[in-house]
A and B are shown apart, each in its own frame.
Chain A
Amino acid sequence: EADIYQTPRYLVIGTGKKITLECSQTMGHDKMYWYQQDPGMELHLIHYSYGVNSTEKGDLSSESTVSRIRTEHFPLTLESARPSHTSQYLCASSVPSGRGENEQFFGPGTRLTVL
């Protein structure tokens, strides 16, 4: 059973606000990911991390930033939210070996609406 948590589950905010989406996992996984997914669409990788103090941008251009100060915690921050950021944000982690990045465990997601 995967243990990966995201808060908040739902968030409605106004344009220009700064927000942080939280993600934590208790599995000790080194690799963590943030995806953006619009309804009925594919997942787009926006950030990933291979471990503490390691963060990389994904393929989808994003105005967000991430940090990885502790293995279990991978928060995503939007400095100034805009309506174009309205989407679902999914956090995931994977084991360091074997299937590696191919088998990812997902949190429940944060559904963000920017007015």
Chain B
Amino acid sequence: GQSLEQPSEVTAVEGAIVQINCTYQTSGFYGLSWYQQHDGGAPTFLSYNALDGLEETGRFSSFLSRSDSYGYLLLQELQMKDSASYFCAVRGGGSNYQLIWGAGTKLIIKP
């Protein structure tokens, strides 16, 4: 089967750096994406990796290693507004080449 694993919850301090890991097992690979979802809200796209390496977008960076079927999202200079759930999603092969989603990591930020 196809699956993604990410920690259920991560706690960090305001101003710090936090890394959220994602490992995947899919038939085929066509990109790893990260989304942010605040409580009661809709997911919003953060970043995308198709090739190995680091992609940086402001305070957020995302990394991919296809050989390890692994990626992570790095959040720097944490702010209270970053408290949310973060989902990794892989576009795999399978029957329809659609996004497969992880269960999400709830990021708790303490002052």
Q: Which of B33, B95, B98, B106 has the most CB of A within 10 A?
A: B98
**Chain A, interface SS category:** mixed
Number of A residues with CB within 8 Å of any CB on chain B:
23
A53 to chain B, nearest CB (A): 18
A69 to chain B, nearest CB (A): 22
A106→B99 CA distance, assembly (Å): 14
A43 touches B45 (CB 8 A): no
Partner of A40, one of B31, B101, B104: B104
A45 touches B48 (CB 8 A): no
Number of B residues with CB within 8 Å of any CB on chain A:
26
A58 touches B104 (CB 8 A): no
Partner of A107, one of B42, B94, B98: B42
A90→B96 CA distance, assembly (Å): 19
A102→B49 CA distance, assembly (Å): 9
A-B contact pairs, 15 of them (CB 8 A): A40-B85, A42-B101, A42-B104, A43-B43, A43-B89, A44-B101, A58-B98, A59-B94, A59-B98, A101-B99, A103-B48, A105-B45, A106-B43, A107-B42, A109-B41
Residues of A within 8 A of B (CB): 33, 40-45, 48, 56, 58-59, 90, 99-109
